[in-house]
Amino acid sequence: MALARRGGVESPLRGAESPAAGFATRGDVRRVGKLKLEKAALAGRYLIQQRLAVGSRNEIFLARDESSGGLVVIKARGAEVFGQPLSAGGLSPVVARFRREGIWLDRLRHPHIVRRLDGGAARDLAGAAFDYHVLERLAGGDLATVSAASGGLPFAEAVRLLRQAVVALTHCHVLGVIHRDVEPGNLLLAADGQTLKLADFDAAASDEDASGGEDVFLDSDAADRPRVYLPPECQPGRLSPLSATIDVYALAKTLYAVLTGSPPADCIGQPIVALPSRLASLPAADALLEVLNQATAMRVTDRYPTVADFWSDVERVIAPPPGRALIGAELDGIASFKPEASANGSDDRPPVASPRPPAESGAPDHPSVADLPSPLMTRLIGIGIALACVALFIGGLTALYRFARELARELRTGRPAIAAPARPLFCVKTLAPTKALAAPTENPTPRDWVGDLSAGTEADVLEMRGNFYRARPQKWAKRRDASITEGWIPRESADGGW
């Protein structure tokens, strides 16, 4: 496919790593500056409109898909980074990891993980090789920008959004993938601001890699990757066995950052031991701090083993005790409070919660005691479930008895019991004398024979399997037993049917 550029040809690869396919090799080791893709047509389909961002690792472009007419995001990476050692295939580790990100995204398809629509490799207008992913566009921004702009999200809103990240991470962990780069900047929002998706899998690794995989920091990546969300075992230069606790640690600090509007920069590689004054005055602050402290413990074995376990305790902390207002309501005012900085740049004043507007009509965020079923209704539901379980058990026993009876009949008669459908599929006529068999087999034995059909015998076809019909002839030339009413005949022994 032609790339819309001066005299260049694109190479839309799908996993190959040959020089002819457009990937950089040992003879093409150089790190060019910004990719020149303005107004280029990538893969003859994606028209680049503008550059959205440039980092030391990747460049992000906005493009229009000429096939669908919609907007997409192009995540591109120059094929080589100067000074990086090359693998046996002529690739630097960061490029190999970028391509592996595409594999993870294709494998981990989920409603709360950013979708990869396409990908490959090409050369830009200046002839520089690069790899790219075509991703869905999420117009709501990232959670880091949104939370920082408002000085921290309301507690109920933060929990609602991050609950979607928990679902996505649990899906990844079930499939054996550790994200290793969970932070607010990698949690993207849809245009409605309600749907959250997990992005940026270029640091992801399989939990089967006992060595811990590659260092999360590779060369120029270190400048972009926030260290505050990395546990001690993932800090620069350290490798350790991978586990879900890496993402538990990062998710806990992400929750802290989303609530406060800024990351806990004073505890890089350390557990969270204190909350800012705006959160510390809340009634449930001690319980929340205890959960965050355990999730960010220095020792892997002291943390929650899964993100689901961690989030279960977070939800328990925010659950309102009987007769008390929701903690989410208390924290909404805290999050909307924006203090003025003091002369020394610090802010030690107590929070002033702004009044919360009256709730709109509709279902409440959490069920009240009145919404819960009565003890009698709960008991009736339990009885109904028990009766359903008994009915399923009896039905299972009945099916097992019928199966055993048919199996015993097959062993006794030497042929499988064949149940005919209510009506035949079609009718055929034998073209030559044909032997009917008890089962569809290419190498029958005398034991498989159930009868003979004369040429021109009409038969109803009840089932097709491979090169055989299960047929019910209207007349038998000979059969092993008078109770036999059907058998398997080769398809080539009959006409096309009607």
Which pLDDT score is estimated for 382? 84
Which pLDDT score is estimated for 359? 42
Q: CA distances (Å), 458 to each of 364, 418, 488, 492, in order?
A: 70, 19, 14, 15
Which amino acid is located at 107 in the chain? R
Which pLDDT score is estimated for 21? 30
Q: How confident is the model at residue 59 (pLDDT cuts 50, 70, 90)?
A: very high
Matching CATH number, 426-493, of 2.60.120, 1.10.3470, 2.30.30, 2.60.40: 2.30.30
* Residue that has been written with the tokens 């002291």 in this structure: 302
Q: Count CB neighbours of 263 within 10 A.
A: 22
CA angle, corner 132, sides to 126 and 133, nearest 5? 155
Q: What is the spatial distance between Cα 422 and Cα 172, in angstroms, rounded to a whole number?
A: 47
Beta strands across the sheet bearing 487-490: 426-429, 458-465, 468-473, 487-490, 434-437, 449-453, 478-479
Which pLDDT score is estimated for 10? 43
Cβ atoms of 434 and 453 closer than 8 Å: yes
Cβ atoms of 194 and 207 closer than 8 Å: no
Instruction: Extract the runs of DSSP E, i.e. beta strands, from 347-467.
Output: 426-429, 434-437, 449-453, 458-465
Do 143-338 and 426-493 agree at the fold level?
no
Matching CATH number, 143-338, of 3.40.640.10, 1.10.10.10, 1.10.510.10, 3.40.50.2030: 1.10.510.10
pLDDT in tens, 312-371: 999 998 775 554 444 444 334 333 333 333 334 444 433 433 334 444 444 444 444 344
Identify the weakest region by mean pLDDT among 112-121, 273-282, 285-294, 455-464. 273-282
What are the residue numbers of the active site?
Answer: 181
pLDDT in tens, 440-462: 988 888 888 899 999 999 999 99
Task: Flag whether pLDDT at 7 surpasses 90.
Answer: no
Q: Which helix (H) or strand (E) holds 469?
A: strand 468-473
Which pLDDT score is estimated for 415? 54
Characterize 288-298 residue by residue with b for buried, 16 or more Cβ atoms within 10 angstroms of its Cβ, and e for exposed.
Answer: bbebbbbbbbe
Matching CATH number, 19-136, of 3.90.550.10, 3.50.90.10, 3.40.50.720, 3.30.200.20: 3.30.200.20
Q: What is the spatial distance between Cα 250 and Cα 255, in angstroms, rounded to a whole number?
A: 9
* Residue that has been written with the tokens 């050369």 in this structure: 123
Which pLDDT score is estimated for 225? 54
Q: What is the spatial distance between Cα 493 and Cα 153, in angstroms, rounded to a whole number?
A: 75
Q: What is the spatial distance between Cα 122 and Cα 127, in angstroms, rounded to a whole number?
A: 9
Closest to 132 (Cα-Cα) out of 91, 81, 77, 186: 77
Domain extents in the chain: 19-136, 143-338, 373-413, 426-493
